[in-house]
Amino acid sequence: MRLPPGTPYLRGVLCQRLVLVGDAHLGRGSPEAERAFLAFLDTVPSLGDGLVVTGDLFEFWFSYHRVIPRRNLAVVVALAALRRRLPILLVGGNHDRWGGEFWQEQLGIEFAAREARFELNGRPAMVVHGDGITESHWSGRLLQRITRHQATIALFRAIHPDLGLWLVDQLSGVLGDRSRTEAQIRAAAAHQQGWALRRMEQEPGLALLAMGHTHSAAALTVRPGGLYVNPGAWFDGYRYAVIGEGQAELRQFPHPNPPGQ
């Protein structure tokens, strides 16, 4: 597979067995979710030979030129240590897509703000968080445009980090998706799956299309050798997925007191 110049992809090894995890929203809930995630990262090398994060790992992340956000720093350090053992691809979500050049330049972790492609067992694969696809209300679509706009990003970067991160904390309820009903969540998951199926029809060579955002775990064999997978939300029962030998397995990390249970 020939990738467009600059397309983020897993470097160095040909992944045979891939670990997917996302939507942890670390920094939002109990510190226990972060402790469980750190324990999970310790086990990743025994689960696969590559890690893909499907977005919204953090409740909020912004890469400044000279400052590293203090919150969840332990996770950043653990990811840096894991990267020395296997390749990592981090895709931004609607809460943490402002990664800039920090992940690649400082830690060697491939980062893509929206979507990325890589090779799995020698075949093309793709990961996209999924925000902007399932939003049905005009306000959600407007918010996507505002937060992605370069002027918005430049303005936020100009604010002192202490003030900027304080503003994010005050607005997190508005920026997030905490008010969705169960019916809305199911509708979003169905919408996302339909989009994924159409995308895989357009690209019949894809071995894997991995997504996040809806917080709804799914593993579907679209065709022989073609998978659509959403590992589900880490904050909901410590969910993740393992892809290997053309199959996807949805799992939950065995850690005391998992949320959502």
pLDDT of 142 = 57
Question: What is residue 66's predicted lDDT score, i.e. its pLDDT?
Answer: 86
Cα 29 → chain centroid: 17
Q: Which fold has domain 17-252?
A: Purple Acid Phosphatase; chain A, domain 2 (3.60.21)
List the chain pLDDT tens, one digit each, 261 residues.
344 445 555 554 557 899 999 999 998 878 899 999 999 999 999 999 999 999 999 998 988 888 888 889 999 999 999 999 999 999 999 888 888 889 999 999 999 988 899 888 888 999 999 988 866 554 555 566 667 677 777 887 888 888 888 888 877 665 555 556 788 788 889 999 999 999 999 999 999 999 999 999 999 999 999 999 999 999 999 999 999 988 999 999 997 776 765
Are 33 and 140 in contact, with CB atoms under 8 Å apart? no
Distance CA 119, CA 126 (A): 8
Give pLDDT, residue 1: 37
Q: What's the pLDDT at 175?
A: 56
pTM for this model (two decimals): 0.87
Q: Which pLDDT score, from 0 to 100, does residue 163 have?
A: 86
The confidence score (pLDDT) of residue 195 equals: 94
pLDDT for the residue numbered 3? 46
Q: Which two tokens stand for residue 179?
A: 């008010």
pLDDT at residue 102, rounded to an integer: 92
